[in-house]
Amino acid sequence: ARCEWDFSLATVVSSTANATVSDTLGVIEFDPSNTILATGGIARKIRIYTLNSLLRPQEETVHFQGEHQSIAFLDHTNACDNCIFTPAKLSSLRWKPGTGGRILGSGDYDGVVMEYDIETKVPIFERDEHGGRRVWSVDYSHSDPFLGASGSDDGTMQMWDPRCDEGGGSVAKVQPTKSRSSVCCVEFNPFGDALIAAGCADQKAYAYDVRKMVEPVHIFDGHTKTITYVRFLNAQTLVSAGTDGCLKLWNIVDSRLLRTYKGHVNSRSFVGLSVWRHGGLLGCGSENNQVFVYDTRWGEPIWVHGFEPMGRDSSDHHHAFVSSVCWRQVNEDQCTLVAGGSNGVLHVFVGKRKSDSE
């Protein structure tokens, strides 16, 4: 696997107090403008950052492997522009399209879907139709931004619309498996096709036509353990992640497996999956506390970086793992990957495309 990128660690954001496992970062999301970042996890708070504040001039220079590398060490309290306290632990965040980055949707451990107004810091929409079972994932349609979807431990994927009667009742509900296996992830196709994908604990991913939510139009069968994430890479392909330690690339049209990516460690936890569509790169975490980058053309990683303990962040390092990742979706020869850990520490990586002479 040939790496065409030079990656480096730019910023580490942690808490001044010793980080604990109770601050696990389960989700990181860039807003539609790709200038604002939101994080959430089991600390019951949404933190909002501007990318510029995370990539401000470096504050410390650290000596690594014989080279001087400039890394900014920031504290969450100072780096964070906005903080919203939530009633429950968060498993999912997604910015609502068409709201100018003002509305952020969330799914939580209590089975509730909420929408928050970032400026006023108050919830403006709430629905609880998963019977109190944990909501693992929320997403919004790109063709109709009022249409949302959620997947839950109750074994259902539900689509809902806040404009409907009674404050956003379900407009469609499917149970992908007869055994009511957990629906761990949902994502609408952002490329115009009327598809929504769901990954389940029965080791399969399903794609439904949102106009006729009866039977799945595609079934992706190849993982040997729970599917934790599904992400559309482009109009023709879908990427899935599972606790079998694999990422898989699928042809959507015929449900054919195109490639399997291995190298990271994942047997029990949600470790994050993000696709950088412009660059054809995949990012994921790992239970050995490393972040992995794959080029979609090759099954082996092109870059791996360990979250080494750095002074104030060294507590409980042996049990930490990378729990969330997110690419900035910009089309240029530079990229930004943000990764969060089970100890609440945030890492910001920047990549530059190598010149042909290198």
Choose among 214, 208, 180: nearest CA to 193. Answer: 208
Choose among 241, 200, 221: nearest CA to 324. Answer: 241
Q: Is 176 helix (H, G, I), strand (E, B) or coil?
A: coil
Asked if 238 and 205 touch (Cβ cutoff 8 Å), the reply is yes
Question: Over the stretch 325-353, which tens digit does the pLDDT of each residue have?
Answer: 999 999 888 999 999 999 999 999 999 99
Task: Report the predicted TM-score, pTM, of the whole model to 2 decimal places.
Answer: 0.92
Identify the bridge partners of residue 267 per DSSP, sorted by sequence position: none
pLDDT over 60 (residue 61) = no
Question: Over the stretch 72-98, which tens digit does the pLDDT of each residue have?
Answer: 999 998 899 999 999 999 999 999 999
d(CA 37, CA 340): 12
Topology of domain 5-353, per CATH?
Methylamine Dehydrogenase; Chain H (2.130.10)
Question: Over the stretch 14-52, which tens digit does the pLDDT of each residue have?
Answer: 986 654 446 899 999 999 999 999 999 999 999 999 999
Q: What is the greatest pairwise CA distance in the chain?
A: 64
Choose among 124, 254, 109: nearest CA to 182. Answer: 109
Q: Which helix (H) or strand (E) holds 167?
A: helix 165-168
Phi-psi region of 106 (alpha: psi -120 to 50; beta: other; left: phi over 0): beta
* Angle value at C-alpha 50, between 196 and 240, nearest 5 degrees: 25
Phi-psi region of 267 (alpha: psi -120 to 50; beta: other; left: phi over 0): alpha
**Is the alpha carbon torsion for 261, 264, 265, 271 positive or negative?**
negative
Q: Looking at residue 115, what is its pLDDT?
A: 95
Q: Which two tokens stand for residue 106?
A: 């969330």
Q: Looking at residue 57, what is its pLDDT?
A: 58
